[in-house]
Structure formats: C-alpha cells, structure tokens
C-alpha cells in the first residue's frame, strides 16, 4: 500500500473517531504529504522510516528556513500518523516516539484597536448596493459574536429560529454554542434580510441549496459565501478604511472581539464560552495581549519612562 493510501486511511480514522473538521484533515494531508515527499527524496517509504529518517525530515525543515511552528506541526502530524500505523498493526514500533520538536514561542495574536474597528464599520457603511448591506451584517455578527470565519459564512437560516436575540453556532467538534448578538447586529441582519434574495442563484437547483444559508452565494458550490471571498472583501474594506490590509483578517476580528471584551471587564470564562474554546488556556492568550498593551502604554506614556 502506498503512503498516499496510508495517509487517506489515517484521515478517515481522524474524521470517524475523532470528529476532525475538514480544515483539520486538510492540514494533516498537507503536512504528511510534505513528510512523504521529503522521505521520498532519500528513497525511503513512510511505512519503513526509522527515527533517524524522521530526524532528517525535521532537519530539512530548518535548512529550508521553515519556522519552528511549522516544524512542530509536522512533528505532531508524524506522531499521530505513526501511532495510527502502530495501532493498526502495520508497524511493530513507533519511530516518532523519541523525537522532540523545537520549542516555538507562542506568538501573540494581532489585535485591532477599537478605533480600527470603528473605521472598518464606517467603511462598510459606505459600501453600495446589496453587497454592502450583506457585508455590514456579516461584520456586525463577526465582531458582536467573535465567530470563526467558517462559522460565519455557513450560518444557516435556522440559527435564529429559537431565539431572535441569539444565534446558535455549530463550531469545532460539531459542538453547538449560543452567542448573543448586539442590537446593532440584529438591526443589520434585519436590513440584510430584505436584500438577501439578490444573492441567491438563478438556477433553481442551486437556489434550493443556497436558500438554507443566511449568506447564500450565486457561485460557490457549497451554496454559501466562501471563507476566501469574505476575507477578500474584508481586505478591500480595510484599505478603504485606511488600515494596513496585512493586519486585518477575519481571525483578527475574532481576536479583537475577545481582547476588547476583556479590556472592558468581561471575565475569562464568559469569553471562553463565547469563543467556543474547549480549554481556557486558549482564551488566556488574550490576557497576555492586554498585558503587552499595558506595558507598551507604561513605557511610552509614563512621565518617568525615559529616566534611567
């Protein structure tokens, strides 16, 4: 059996037994495909690789200038893959067990200031036509609820069925959470509903599928706006707002939501629930962001900051 077939069987297991999301599976496919390619240049099959071979893979990542975070992700994929081969009886050992990856310092997420977010909303208000109305509604939901971009674009119409002031979001691991919305977000959604039909496909078969989503698409095969298209529109909006487009993304908006809530006194547990984090340690990164911002403020604004 080829390495590609082994990888696909591993991915099937991750989907069936671990409930891994599509994006997670694609990431594993890319990482393991890269490992396979690097081993192949040495004439080594993935099934037959020894610990020293996998060490060479990690060394080649460093030689190619890839980051410690990338190496850590490749190592994690290898460890899961070889544990799978061991559990299936394909191998009698796990060559990845002795491997230790480089320690990757945890980078603090990029965060927009409240003024930056205001500038984005002002730019969105100037967008013309049904597209502008749709973008304002999406931006309001994104910032009001801290949704992941995949959660936002795939919101079904029935997300609002049980409580008009809340939406029910299905996130990672197929877990559902309730997210309250602001009055501004609810108002923007109400206005958008009046023009929503403009984004439905003309083809009746495609329209039937797209009509189940809050943000349908005339072109996307999945029936709703794609993550890539939303990110593209958001980047153009950042330019219109006078912001550096490289610092603005859907996930940066999610970071802004969390950081601004904490800065205004929200407790960590509540923010964790709103974000849909399984572990509070994922949410704690935003407290570090606040610490860094406060430290920078102290160093630049305190009257004794420039004195030795």
| Burial of 46 per CB tally in 10 Å (0-12, 13-18, 19+) | buried
Closest to 167 in 3D by CA, of 185, 149, 194, 184: 185
Residues 61 and 143 in one domain: no
Domain limits at 209?
Answer: 114-299
Q: 170 in helix, strand or coil? A: strand
Q: Is 83 a catalytic residue?
A: no
Task: Indicate which residue of 74, 254, 255, 260 is catalytic.
Answer: 254
Say what the pTM is. 0.60
Residues 43 and 183 in one domain: no
Count up the domains in the chain and report the number. Answer: 2
What token pair was written down for 93? 């050992």
Our separate counts of H helices and E strands in the chain read 13, 2
CATH of the domain at 10: 1.10.150
Q: Across the chain, what does the average pLDDT equal?
A: 84
pLDDT tens-digit map of 30-69: 999 999 999 999 999 999 999 999 999 999 988 888 888 7
Residues 181 and 134 in one domain: yes
Residues 118 and 226 in one domain: yes
**Which of the given ranges, 30-44, 159-173, 243-257, has the highest pLDDT on average?**
30-44
Closest to 148 in 3D by CA, of 123, 162, 169: 169
Q: Is 172 a catalytic residue?
A: yes
Residue length of the chain: 308
pLDDT tens-digit map of 145-160: 889 899 999 999 888 7
Residues 119 and 51 in one domain: no
Q: Is 254 a catalytic residue?
A: yes
Distance CA 85, CA 93 (A): 9
Distance CA 151, CA 110 (A): 20
Q: Is 136 a catalytic residue?
A: no
Distance CA 257, CA 225 (A): 22
Distance CA 16, CA 218 (A): 32
In a domain? residue 189: yes
> Which helix or strand (DSSP H or E) is residue 53 part of?
helix 51-63
In a domain? residue 279: yes
Task: Indicate which residue of 38, 73, 74, 148 is catalytic.
Answer: 148
Beta bridge partners of residue 213, listed in sequence order = 156
Residues 119 and 251 in one domain: yes
Closest to 74 in 3D by CA, of 109, 110, 39, 22: 39
Task: Indicate which residue of 28, 143, 192, 286 is catalytic.
Answer: 286
Q: Is 286 a catalytic residue?
A: yes
Q: Is 106 a catalytic residue?
A: no
Residues 272 and 145 in one domain: yes
């Amino acid at each position: 059996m080829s390495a590609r077939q082994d990888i696909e069987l591993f991915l099937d297991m991750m989907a069936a037994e671990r409930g891994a999301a599509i994006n997670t599976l694609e990431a594993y496919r890319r990482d393991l495909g890269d490992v396979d390619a690097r081993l192949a240049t040495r004439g080594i099959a993935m099934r037959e690789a020894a610990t020293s071979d996998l060490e060479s893979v990690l060394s080649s990542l460093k030689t190619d200038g890839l980051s410690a975070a990338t190496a850590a992700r490749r190592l994690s994929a290898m460890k899961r893959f070889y544990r799978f081969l061991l559990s299936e009886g394909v191998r009698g050992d796990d060559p990845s067990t002795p491997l230790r990856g480089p320690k990757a310092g945890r980078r603090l997420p990029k965060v927009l200031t409240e003024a930056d977010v205001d500038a984005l909303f002002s730019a969105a208000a100037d967008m013309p036509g049904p597209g502008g109305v749709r973008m304002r509604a999406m931006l309001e939901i994104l910032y009001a609820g801290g949704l992941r971009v995949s959660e936002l674009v795939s919101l079904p119409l029935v997300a609002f069925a049980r409580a008009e002031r809340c939406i029910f979001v299905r996130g990672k691991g197929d877990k559902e959470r309730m997210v309250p919305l602001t009055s501004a977000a609810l108002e923007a959604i109400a206005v958008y509903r009046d023009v929503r039909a403009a984004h439905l496909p003309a083809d009746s078969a495609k329209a039937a599928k797209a009509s189940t989503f809050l943000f349908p698409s005339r072109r996307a095969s999945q029936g709703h706006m794609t993550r890539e298209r939303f990110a593209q529109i958001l980047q153009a909006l950042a330019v219109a707002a006078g912001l550096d487009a490289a610092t603005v993304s859907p996930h940066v908006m999610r970071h802004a939501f969390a950081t601004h809530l904490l800065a205004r006194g929200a407790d960590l547990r509540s923010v964790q629930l709103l974000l849909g984090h399984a572990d509070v340690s994922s949410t704690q990164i935003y407290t570090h962001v606040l610490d860094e911002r406060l430290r920078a403020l102290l160093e630049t604004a305190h009257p004794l900051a420039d004195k030795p």
